Amino acid sequence: MKPEKAADGARTFHISVTGDVGPAPIAPFTVKEGEKIDLTKLALAPKAKDPSIIVGPEVPVLTDDKGLPVSPNGMRVFKSKEVYAVMIRKLLPVGVLGLLAAALMAALMGNLSSASNSIATMVSYDVVKRFRPDIGDKQLVLIGRIATLTAILSGIALVPLLDLYESIFNGVNDIIAHMAPPITCVFVLGVFWPKASARSATLTMIFGSLMGVVLFALKTLHAGWENAFSWVPPFVYETPFMMMAFYMCMVCIAMQVVFTFLYPKTSSEDPQQLYWPHPFDALKAPGWSGLLNYKVMASVVIIAMVGLYVTFR
């Protein structure tokens, strides 16, 4: 599906139908914004025994009273985020399907184990132990267990939120795009700007994180209850998550610069030099020789990113 704007300002969508559609191919067609595609009127005659229709992201299809796509007789309709599961079920034999399920469960358990350990350690030692140095080990273990259980339950509670997206990939990236800007800002300025103070970093983290939470909450509420939250500015929910991350990062940088001038660095903040006095000092290290030199690899990455942007923008 490729959106374009018509002469009257309304958006039109070019729709393509591919795959096993039958003896005659279906030519691409267009729909205007607000129109729905009736899948039952498509000339589909697949040869497969268990035919299915996979609807791409944001394709406007006609739905029934339950919100499910109206499908032709004998065909099931799946969303794009269900493609992986559908392909596994249809293409893999029973034995291989069991092995893949075991591998997925093993990977999931490994991720949960490492995440649980990290959460428990961070909360008990980096937070609680710092403010209560005399706390006992049994209490730290209990606090770590409570923190881990809370994090897991919070993750389960976010499942309906992720279901609002066309794919988990889009949902995770959208969440990260609203969380990462203040962290990136504090890290970059802390390394490349000697004047950045600890208090400005703390305030930037606090207000930048609050900004990300507010913007993400408004975007999510508008997606779920569009009529009730119609007052939300289009900039909040129409801006792609990568551009939103960039805008938020620029705001956080400006925020930390202002806070640094309001609360300058004290003489006791740098027990050792953790920054480069000048940004180009990072390029003075000789590095390895040949193609593995960090300057060569960084240049390749920059050229590749610029090329991808120019090609796919």
SS (H, E, C) 59-80: CCECECCCCCECCCCCCEEEEH
Task: With cut-offs at 50, 70 and 90, classify the pLDDT of residue 244.
Answer: very high
What is residue 76's predicted lDDT score, i.e. its pLDDT?
75
- What is the spatial distance between Cα 9 and Cα 23, in angstroms, rounded to a whole number? 37
What is residue 8's predicted lDDT score, i.e. its pLDDT?
57
Length of the chain: 313
Q: Whole-prediction pTM value?
A: 0.64
Quick one: which of 67, 61, 66 has its CA closest to 41? 61
Task: With cut-offs at 50, 70 and 90, classify the pLDDT of residue 182.
Answer: very high
φ/ψ region of 257 (left if φ > 0, alpha if ψ in -120 to 50, else beta) reads alpha
Mean pLDDT computed over 197-202: 91
The pLDDT of residue 41 is above 60: yes
- What is the spatial distance between Cα 29 and Cα 20, in angstroms, rounded to a whole number? 18
**Residue 245 half-sphere exposure, CB side, CA atoms within 13 Å?**
14
What is residue 157's predicted lDDT score, i.e. its pLDDT?
84
Contact present, 177 and 170 (Cβ < 8 Å): no
**Given the DSSP bridges, would you call strands 76-79 and 11-15 parallel, antiparallel or unpaired?**
unpaired
Looking at per-residue pLDDT, the higher value among 312 and 117 belongs to 117
Residues 55-107 have pLDDT tens digits of 776 777 777 777 777 777 767 777 777 777 777 877 788 788 888 888 888 98
Looking at per-residue pLDDT, the higher value among 301 and 56 belongs to 301
Residues 255-279 have pLDDT tens digits of 999 999 999 888 777 655 666 777 7
The pLDDT of residue 300 is above 90: yes
Mean pLDDT of the chain: 82
Ranking 6-15, 231-240, 249-258 by mean pLDDT, the lowest is 6-15
The pLDDT of residue 206 is above 70: yes
Contacts of 28 (CB under 8 A, 6+ apart): 14, 15, 16, 17
Mean pLDDT computed over 19-24: 66
Task: Break the chain into its structural domains and give their ranges.
Answer: 2-91, 92-157, 167-277, 279-313
DSSP category for residue 41? G
- What is the spatial distance between Cα 10 and Cα 33, in angstroms, rounded to a whole number? 7
